[in-house]
């Protein structure tokens, strides 16, 4: 790189999380596209955050990933890349970060949502926010958007390793019989009318990971469905635990592979609701450790970005 070559940008995108209980209402309102939720709905969500300590570490973890990735890239090519973070529904919003990227003299950006599986509703939403923020710039960035990475071998191996580690933490008498239960965020059933690839990508991804582990029996379900009055993809994990119990399953390894960090969908929906349901049924539920900001996850992202970044060299 010459002194006059502008750095390339890495734009890590995450969902966002309220940083205090006072933030819950405006955060919830943003998720709803500016429509204020009812006081009862706000209090319901606020109570969940309160019960897990008032906030989640999602923002901290995302910035830790960015810092580690920056350090990794600086080792390989000092000053060649700059890593930024933008959130979909909370500060720093994508629209807040994009002008800073431009102000730094960056012209080429690789945008990567920290969610492996594509849906028009989820990843498409990230892309919409990036496109809108970019269009508002005096000189728009040249953006390469990585839309999906569920088939990345490094990602699949990471989840497979986490499943193996979770199995090893079970009591010896349950290790071999424990059933791996993959889960991902549910979405409204209407995505099926769009021929949305989300359900297929989840099945392909789960099957690939199961194959790495030599599993002959594993299951896939959904979690965290919204209360919008319309049908959402199922089966829901809470209902499915009952079905597994009726089959005689005594232990489950929960692999919420649709997520990469500890946030409400993991800390509440799995660690509290699903765990409570398993306990009620007399089942053992062992969740895998999330990728979070672990070095192994940064390795996955660095390798994933490598081919795209080469185009900017």
Mean pLDDT within 142-149? 95
Mean pLDDT within 145-161? 97
Mean pLDDT within 114-137? 98
> Is residue 225 scored above 50 in pLDDT?
yes
More confident position, 4 or 280: 280
> Is residue 73 scored above 50 in pLDDT?
yes
Domains of the chain: 8-150+294-310 (3.40.50.1400), 153-287 (3.40.50.1400)
Q: Rounded distance, CA 251 to CA 214, Å?
A: 18
pLDDT classification of 270: cutoffs 50, 70, 90:
very high
> Is residue 3 scored above 60 in pLDDT?
no
> Is residue 71 scored above 70 in pLDDT?
yes
Q: Give, to the nearest 10 degrees, the angle between helix 123-135 and helix 94-103.
A: 50
Tens digit of each residue's pLDDT (9 = 90 or more) over 81-95: 999 999 999 999 999
What average pLDDT does the structure give for the chain?
Answer: 96
How big is the CA angle at 182 (ends 163 and 277), to the nearest 5 degrees?
100
Q: Rounded distance, CA 108 to CA 134, Å?
A: 12
Whether 157 and 212 have beta carbons less than 8 Å apart is answered as yes
Mean pLDDT within 188-212? 98
pLDDT classification of 1: cutoffs 50, 70, 90:
very low
How much is the pTM? Answer: 0.95
Question: Within 13 Å and on the Cβ side, how many CA atoms surround 128?
Answer: 10
């Amino acid at each position: 790189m010459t002194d006059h070559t502008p750095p390339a940008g890495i734009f890590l995108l995450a969902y966002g999380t309220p940083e205090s209980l006072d933030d819950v209402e405006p955060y919830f309102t943003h998720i709803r596209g500016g429509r204020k939720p009812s006081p009862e709905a706000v209090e319901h969500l606020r109570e969940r955050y309160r019960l897990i300590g008032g906030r989640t570490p999602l923002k901290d973890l995302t910035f830790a990933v960015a810092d580690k990735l920056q350090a990794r890239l600086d080792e390989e090519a000092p000053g060649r890349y700059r890593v930024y973070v933008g959130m979909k529904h909370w500060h720093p919003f994508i629209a807040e970060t994009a002008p800073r990227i431009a102000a730094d003299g960056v012209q080429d950006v690789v945008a990567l949502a920290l969610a492996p599986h594509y849906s028009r509703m989820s990843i498409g939403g990230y892309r919409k926010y990036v496109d809108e923020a970019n269009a508002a710039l005096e000189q728009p960035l040249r953006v390469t958007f990585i839309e999906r990475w569920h088939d990345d071998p490094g990602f699949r191996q990471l989840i497979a390793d986490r499943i193996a580690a979770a199995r090893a933490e079970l009591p010896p008498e349950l290790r071999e019989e424990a059933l791996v239960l993959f889960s991902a965020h549910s979405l409204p059933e209407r995505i099926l009318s769009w021929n949305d690839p989300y359900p297929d990508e989840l099945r392909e991804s789960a099957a690939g990971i199961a194959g790495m582990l030599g599993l002959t029996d594993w299951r896939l379900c959904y979690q965290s469905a919204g209360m919008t009055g319309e049908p959402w993809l199922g089966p829901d994990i809470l209902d499915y635990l009952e079905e597994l119990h009726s089959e005689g399953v005594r232990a489950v390894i929960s692999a919420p592979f649709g997520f990469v960090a500890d946030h409400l969908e993991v800390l509440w929906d799995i660690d509290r609701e699903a765990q409570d349901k398993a306990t009620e049924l007399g089942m053992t539920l062992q969740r895998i450790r999330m990728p979070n900001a672990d070095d192994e996850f940064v390795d996955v992202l660095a390798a994933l970005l490598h081919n795209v970044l080469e185009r900017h060299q």
